[in-house]
Amino acid sequence: MMDRISSNKWQVRGAAIIIFLLGFTAGALALNAYRSWLRPGGAGAQLKEDRFERMVKDLQLNEEQKTQVQQIFGDTREKLEALRKESEPRVKEIRSQADERMQKVLTTEQWQRFQQTRQERGARRRNRADGPPPGENR
């Protein structure tokens, strides 16, 4: 009897943690969406260019400094992309382990809804990264 009560307590705690994590994720996604709606122009590449030009103006960089800063940003971007590619297999492994654990906790219906929500979120993220079709503003 005591084992059953203890098991139920842990199940409730686990469910509470999952609910918290899902709520946190939903909040972060909502904040990100809200910020993207507030962006002037909305296009990612143009936004980066605008931010860079604002920084150049705010810091009053001369042409030599501007060129050097662009090189630093480019080098940094390349290194970060290499790091992402390098760590991607480990990230996939960790996500796979999390999926296995989640599948044990959720019912079949909950698991299917969870996967569907994740796929929709990924599709929205890819659509934002691609930007709007030519001639269309966000």
- Choose among 130, 135, 122, 134: nearest CA to 45: 130
Query: Same domain, yes or no, for 71 and 22?
Result: no
pLDDT in tens, 9-57: 788 888 889 998 888 888 888 877 766 665 545 445 666 778 888 989 9
Query: Same domain, yes or no, for 60 and 12?
Result: no
Average pLDDT over residues 83-103: 92
CA distance 39 to 49: 13
Asked if the structure places residue 12 within a domain, the reply is yes
Query: Same domain, yes or no, for 79 and 122?
Result: yes
End-to-end CA distance of the chain: 59
**Distances from the Cα of 70 to the Cαs of 43, 45, 61, 65, in angstroms?**
20, 14, 11, 8
Question: What local confidence, expressed as pLDDT, does residue 133 receive?
Answer: 47
Decide: pTM greater than 0.75: no
CA distance 109 to 115: 10
Asked if the structure places residue 88 within a domain, the reply is yes
Asked if the structure places residue 136 within a domain, the reply is no
Owning domain of residue 71 = 42-128
The answer to whether the CB of 56 falls within 8 A of the CB of 66 is: yes
Query: Same domain, yes or no, for 18 and 65?
Result: no
